[in-house]
Structures are given as structure tokens and as C-alpha cells.
Amino acid sequence: MAAAAKCSRLGGPLARQLLDSVDSVLFDCDGVIWRGDQVVPGAAEVINLLKRRGKRVFFLTNNSTKTRKMYAEKLTRLGFGASADEVFATAYCSAMYLKSVCGLEGKVYLIGSGAMRQELEEVGIQQVGVGPDLVSGGQADWAAVPLDPEVKAVLVGFDEHFSYMKLNKALQYLADPDCLLVGTNTDTRLPLEGGKAVPGTGCLVKAVETAAQRQAHVVGKPSRYMFDCVAAEFGLDPARSLMVGDRLDTDILLGTSCGLKTLLTLTGVSTLADAEGHRESGCPVRMAMVPDYFVDSVAELLPALQG
């Protein structure tokens, strides 16, 4: 199909044309197919029809608090036909990154969740650190805190038990220049209903980077590793793949930088005004966050799939 003007409303024949031009559709989850525990109306039908039409569907999320299996259970409960191997969440992708890309031989000091521990164990990596870790003693004790000599990487994801002592231990491990620093994602806030928000994993990654005076390698969107991880397992052609997301700075930027077609849905974080602002800026960095197309909701893909 001919190159479309950036940020076009997707509907009618254009929607059908776009779907005909792709074999794989990659969906972000929150703000796209569900909001919290509420499914976006029509989203399950869209995904089930895409599959019936022979498209491969994948779910890519920066959320590090669930395993692929937990996501597959949630998808099934909400009416989506999905299996764990279609889910690429940062708990799984960061374990794969440490295993396949870094070839890690040793343990991980984990600032993260039980789900992250499970995904590490699935690929044969042991961890220390999950769960609460409260401070005691004074500064000299903190600097001399006992370390596990087998730890070769610090992995930072969402950790509701994040504490000064965890930050300190990360610093002590990372004093060894051969110890790797990996973060699941850099989302700074988790938006909640009613305009409220809580601090996201990006705050924890930033704290560890600041203490260790090192940059983390980040696995989650917009890092291209999320796409590479799917492509490595399923042999995707970027030019025949579509990324659907609600955030310009993660989902759409990932899609653009990996050469995918991109679709913004307005049921989540970013607005059409945000996308148009980037488009009008003329700045190349911001242009990478302009989607090819937008819809008010993924349900707008239904007519193109039902005909």
C-alpha cells in the first residue's frame, strides 16, 4: 500500500487495507485491550477475529509484576483467546535478555517481584533479594553489607518493597564494573482511575542508576529488545507487522524504531493532540513518536474484520 500521511484516522477501506498488509499484530495491554480489570469493549472480538483471519497476535507489556502464564490467565478470563507464548512481558523478556543476550552465568540481585523471580527460574537463573529488606545499623555497616559472590547482575523491576537497603545493596554489587545493570522499563508513573497515579519502575531504575553512577540497559518498550524477543521466537517481518498502543513514548516509538506500522488507540494515556504536537514539531526525535494511524478504540477495527 502507498505510504499514508502520518497520523491518519483509520477507518473504512483504509483499515481493511492495513490489516491485509500485515501478518502479525502486536498489542500493548493496559489502555489498549483493557484498563485495569475492565476489558475495552470489542477488544476481545477484534483479537479473536484477527486470529481467525490467520494473523499472529502478540501481547507486549512493560508491566513486570506478572509472568507470561499469569497474563495468559488474565487474557483468558477476560475473553481473549491467548496462550503464554504469545505474551511478552518485561518479567519474561528481562530473564531472556540476561540469559540469551548477556549469557549470564551467575545469580541476579533482584529488585523486583515474585513474578520476576519465577521467570528467572524458568530460564535457570537464581536470584537473591526479592521481598522486604529493612535497614539496620549505621553507614559503616551498610557499606560492608554481606554480598553474595555469585551475583553477576542487578535487575531492577517494579518492587513494592523498594528500600534504602536494597538501593545500598545494588550500589555495593555494582561497584564491581563487571556486574551488569538491567532495568525492566522506565515508565515513571502508573496511571490510575480518576487521574491519580503511583510511582512506576522508572523511579526505581533512576534511583539505582544515580547511586551506582551507571546507566541501566533497559529491556522494555521503547527498547527494541521487546520486538527482537518476539522476532527471535516467531520470525516476524517488521514491514508486515503492526504495533498497536496507547503511549507515544513507548509503544509507538518502539514500532517506529523497529520499522513496524503503528496504530495509536485513544483509550489510554496519549491524546491525539500529543500526537499532532509531535507531528507539527518537525523534530526528528518527536516525529518517531507520531503513529501512522489512530483510532478512538481498537473496536473500530471490527467492521474491517467482520465483512
- Please state the closest distance from residue 194 (CB atom) to Mg ion, in A: 17
Cell triple for residue 65? 509484576
Q: Quote the CA–CA distance of 80 and 77 in Å, as a whole number.
A: 7
Decide if 274 is catalytic. no
Q: Could you tell me the three cell numbers for 37?
A: 480489570
Nearest to Mg ion by Cβ — which residue?
31
C-alpha cell at 71: 497474563
Q: Which of 59, 63, 68, 67 is nearest to 36 (CA)?
A: 63
Query: How near is the Cβ of 191 to Mg ion at its closest, in Å?
Result: 9
Q: Mapping DSSP to helix (H, G, I), strand (E, B) and coil, where does residue 7 land?
A: coil
Is 30 known to sit in a ligand binding site? yes
Q: State the nearest-atom distance from the C-beta of 265 to Mg ion, in Å.
A: 9
**Choice between 140 and 273, CB closer to Mg ion:** 273
**168 vs 267 by CB, closer to Mg ion:** 267
Contact between 184 and 206 under an 8 Å Cβ cutoff? The reply is no
**Pairing between β-strand 197-199 and β-strand 189-191 as defined by DSSP bridges:** antiparallel
28 is in an annotated binding site: yes
Q: Which of 23, 30, 37, 237 is catalytic?
A: 30
Closest CB to Mg ion among residues 98, 244: 244
Q: Which is nearer to Mg ion, 112 or 220 (CB)?
A: 220
Tell whether residue 246 is among the known ligand binding residues: yes
Q: Is 237 annotated as a binding residue?
A: no
Q: Which of 20, 28, 274, 292 is catalytic?
A: 28
Q: How far is the CB of 298 from Mg ion (least distance, A)?
A: 12
Q: Decide if 85 is catalytic.
A: no
- Residues 47-61: b if buried by 16+ CB within 10 A, e if exposed: bbbbbeeebbbbbbb
Q: Does residue 290 contact residue 279 with C-beta atoms inside 8 Å?
A: yes
How far CA 243 is from CA of 220, 249, 292, in Å, comes to: 14, 13, 10
Site of interaction with Mg ion (CB under 5 A):
28, 30-31, 246, 268
Shortest spacing between CB 30 and Mg ion, in angstroms: 4
Determine phi and psi for 30, rounding to 5 degrees: -70, 130
Query: Which of residues 31 and 129 has its CB atom nearest to Mg ion in the complex?
Result: 31
Quote the CA–CA distance of 16 and 26 in Å, as a whole number. 17
Specify binding-site residues: 28, 30, 221, 246
Specify binding-site residues for substrate: 221
- Active site (catalytic) residues: 28, 30
Specify binding-site residues for Mg(2+): 28, 30, 246
